[in-house]
Amino acid sequence: MSSVAPRVRFAPSPTGMFHVGGARSALYNWAVARQSGGTFVLRIEDTDAARNQPEWIDGIISALASIGISEQDPAFEGPYFQSRNADRHREAAAQLAAAGKAYHCDCTREQLKERTGSEHLGYDGFCRERGLAYEPGRALRFRTPDDGETVVVDLVRGKPAFPNASIEDFVIARGDGSPVFLLANVVDDLDEGITLVIRGEEHLSNTPKQQLLWEALGAKAPTWAHLPVIVNEKRQKLSKRRDKVALEDYLADGYLPAAMMNYLMLLGWGPGDDVELRPYEELEQRFRVEDVNTSPAFFDVKKLTAFNGEYIRALSPEAFVQACEPWLTAPAAPWTPEAFDPAVFASVAPLAQSRLTVLSEITTYVDFLFLAEPVFDEGSWNKAMKAGAAELLRDARSTLESAEWAAEPLKAAMEAVAAQHGLKLGKAQAPVRVAVMGRTVGLPLFESLEVLGRERVLARLDAAPRRLAGE
């Protein structure tokens, strides 16, 4: 890359939730800007009035902030709004028409199909030399060079060349005179001084057209960098129709922003060693767009979840409690606000922290502490409550009643019950765990019994045999 500090841009449309692919593009642009003293320009491409929603604009800015891209950072510039540059877009279209680099066309789709025999062959240049003046309904087409090729300098893909003969005379302004996105995008990049465009590879096919427009407007085109497509486990491009793709959804499920940032940075690029888990600041400094791969990047949710678990375990105890708070105090929490006891949660938080992979799991780990009765997972109940479970539960209740109420003595008491029934501790404690906590997987049993308290534990051990008997 040039030694001149680059001006990069991220240009989302406010038409929906924030796609993880967009988040990756934003992070790569942010890294390039910050590591080189450059500028990250946020441009909201809001010209699709039918689909734009103001709340999506706020969502874009909020999502960027969640992954560390802040309006308060000196590298940040904007947001600019494409809709506010409409006059310049029209001016550029007029400039190209006046210079003979674009011409008006009144061909209909039906006429083109009749002439070419197909609606898929592209425009045939019929109006090139007709000298039509603008009238409503006449589109403006760019006059693509007949010969030669357009070479794109791409930091990821080298220098792909596109024969000009294969590029049709494409429309740059509609029949009502409004410029199309292709031209608006170029004019905005030109006016904002963009020197490097980092974006997804789905835009590569448009790049030779945009480069021709830059040159026709008398400007030097930026350097390009087209990132590999992101695919799911079936190696299909991530789609919001079938895949979970919104950054907001992952954050709402309890994926930590730091884990998301770390994982997204590795979708198509690596730091050059075997260390994947590292602070974003390190990834930012190591990142080189020239080292991005061209192969599709697999969005592996299992790997992301494993990353997230590691980040959760790395939190301080205080930070972990704070991170869990939105789920513990949410209206959707399974307990009433009065039933939740922050001190009780704090006492078991370290046990939960070592087991969680996403923060939204926290309620299922601790609900037995704050509900009058456990919520029974039927699969766990059926697995644990085999023949002899009622008798074992009664013996456990009798033995635990007189035990010292602390984790180690409670474990010793259950070991005695297990021996009495000729079972290993793991088998013997399963019915007790389900009777008291509602499921076979969760926090360590004996520490949980200690926190729950003698009275509530014994009451649940009394209730479980009755449930087994159908009472």
State the average pLDDT over residues 4-11. Answer: 95
DSSP character at residue 172:
E
SS3 140: strand
pTM: predicted TM-score of the whole model, two decimal places: 0.92
Residues 361-412: pLDDT tens digits? 999 999 999 999 999 999 999 999 999 999 999 999 999 999 999 999 999 9
Task: Tell me how far the alpha carbon of residue 227 is from its chain's centroid.
Answer: 16
Cis omega (within 30 of 0) for bond into 79: yes
What's the rounded Cα separation, in Å, for the pair 221 and 212?
A: 8
Q: Annotation-wise, does 209 bind a ligand?
A: no
Contacts of 171 (CB under 8 A, 6+ apart): 105, 139, 140, 141, 142, 180
Asked if residue 20 has pLDDT above 70, the reply is: yes
What's the rounded Cα separation, in Å, for the pair 323 and 312?
A: 9
State the average pLDDT over residues 11-39. Answer: 95
Contacts of 370 (CB under 8 A, 6+ apart): 334, 335, 339, 340, 341, 344
Residues 43-68 as b or e (16 or more Cβ within 10 Å = b): bbbbbeeeebeeebbebbbebbebbb
Residues 150-208: pLDDT tens digits? 999 999 999 999 999 999 999 999 999 999 999 999 999 999 999 999 999 999 999 99
Band (pLDDT 50/70/90 cuts) for residue 117 is: confident
Residues 41-99: pLDDT tens digits? 999 999 877 777 778 899 999 999 999 999 999 999 999 999 999 999 999 999 999 99
Q: Annotation-wise, does 324 bind a ligand?
A: no
Number of residues that make up the chain: 471
Q: Dihedrals φ, ψ of 42, to 5°? A: -100, 120
pLDDT number for residue 3: 63
Residue 343 backbone class (left: φ over 0; alpha: ψ -120 to 50; beta: rest)? alpha
pLDDT number for residue 2: 56
State the average pLDDT over residues 102-130. Answer: 87
What is the amino acid identity at position 277? L
Q: Annotation-wise, does 234 bind a ligand?
A: no
SS3 336: coil
3-state secondary structure string across 214-237: HHHCCCCCCEEEEECCEECCCCCE
State the average pLDDT over residues 120-136. Answer: 89
Residues 44, 57 contacting (CB under 8 angstroms): yes
SS3 422: coil
pLDDT number for residue 208: 98
**Mean of the per-residue pLDDT values for the chain?**
95
pLDDT number for residue 346: 97
Residues 143, 128 contacting (CB under 8 angstroms): yes
pLDDT number for residue 51: 76
Positions marked catalytic = 240
SS3 79: strand
What's the rounded Cα separation, in Å, for the pair 212 and 175?
A: 22
Using DSSP, how many helices (H) and how many strands (E) does the chain show?
A: 19, 12
